[in-house]
Amino acid sequence: MNITVRDVAMMIDHTNLHADATTADFQKLCDQAREYGFKSVAINTYPVAMCRRMLEGSEVLTGAAVGFPLGQMTIATKATEAENAVNDGAQEFDYVLNVGKLKEHDYVYIEEEMKQLVAVARKAGICCKVIFETCYLTREEIVEAARIASRVRPDFIKTSTGFGTAGATAENVKLMKENCGPEVQVKAAGGIRSWKDAQAMIEAGATRLGTSSGIRIIEEMKAAGIQ
């Protein structure tokens, strides 16, 4: 794979979505993201304004997690949360689709939800990523959700929250990529803890990686002689 350390750093959403995260934890996250040149910090919506201030003067984006981690909120609630995050300074957001409705094969609902959340992002001129939570889904359900995305055109579809029963797999990344259309990218998240893991996701078609192990990934690349 012909890829540089900077290429990979610019794919990483440096993540802290834990309930017990403190101001000091967010400062550390932002400082690390700035130092390593990561694409964004991925956080819940409450600390968005704070992290945006912490990252002032850097190229690191402030990303918000909406409807996280279960996705079991109304469409209106998710849209309002996304709008609030944007008002607080979010420069992109990832939302969890309604997994239960997808399991019921209510694809009309999933498409309407996606349209409304993407509309919030488009109005703000920012990136929207749709989290599938693939650990709960069949291949058919993953394919159908990806095909809906091919019509609605969020910027990314994403494998996992990292809070489900399993995280990203190369197989699911490939399946999503094959069905989402050329204008939608794939983000792999959940369980990506090493350069080997990251490499497998990139080779399968992921162009963004959600991980709290970004520093380890970059240091392993450097140790392997990758510049």
Pairwise CA distance, residues 22 & 77, whole Å: 25
Which residue in 129, 158, 177, 197 is the catalytic one?
A: 158
| Annotated catalytic residue 94 | yes
Is residue 74 packed enough to be buried (19+ CB in 10 Å), middle (13-18) or exposed (0-12)?
exposed
Angstrom distances, CA of residue 109 to CA of 11, 112, 170:
31, 5, 28
Q: Give residue 174's identity as a one-letter amino acid code.
A: K
Question: If you write DSSP's letter for every residue of 93-114 in order, what string do you get?
Answer: EEEE--HHHHHTT-HHHHHHHH
Q: Which helix (H) or strand (E) holds 13?
A: strand 12-15
Cα 85 vs. chain centroid, distance in angstroms?
Answer: 15
Which residue in 39, 101, 129, 187 is the catalytic one?
A: 187
Which residue in 13, 94, 155, 197 is the catalytic one?
A: 94
**99 phi and psi angles, rounded to 5 deg:** -60, -40
| Annotated catalytic residue 187 | yes
Supply 134's token pair: 């693939």
What is the 8-class DSSP label of residue 134? G
Supply 206's token pair: 């992921």
Residue with tokens 């995305």: 149
Supply 47's token pair: 């600390």
Residues serving a catalytic function are 94, 158, 187
